[in-house]
Amino acid sequence: MIKFDRLWETMKQKGVSTYSLREKSGIDSKTVRRLRANENIETKTLDKLCAALQCNLEDIAEYVKE
């Protein structure tokens, strides 16, 4: 399972709110809801998040064996 707990930690460390993340990355509230629920998202969304937060993929997502 891919978990996005690191995304929220990275946002907190960088002082980025959900609203500003949406504005910077161009993702919508539905996608944020999917991230919070650890649901599937497209790789282009991961790319947008990394660009907006100026971070690496491992800073926003991790694989957790079920």
Share of the chain above pLDDT 70, in %: 100
Is the pLDDT at 66 greater than 90, yes or no? Answer: no
Long-range contacts of 61-64 (CB under 8 A, 24+ apart): 61/2, 61/3, 61/4, 61/6, 61/7, 62/2, 62/3, 62/5, 62/6, 63/1, 63/2, 63/3, 64/1, 64/2, 64/3
The tens digit of pLDDT for each residue in 5-34 reads 999 999 999 999 999 999 999 999 999 999
Domain ranges of the chain: 2-63
What pTM did the predictor assign? 0.91
Is the pLDDT at 60 greater than 90, yes or no? Answer: yes
- Could you tell me which CATH number the domain at 2-63 has? 1.10.260.40
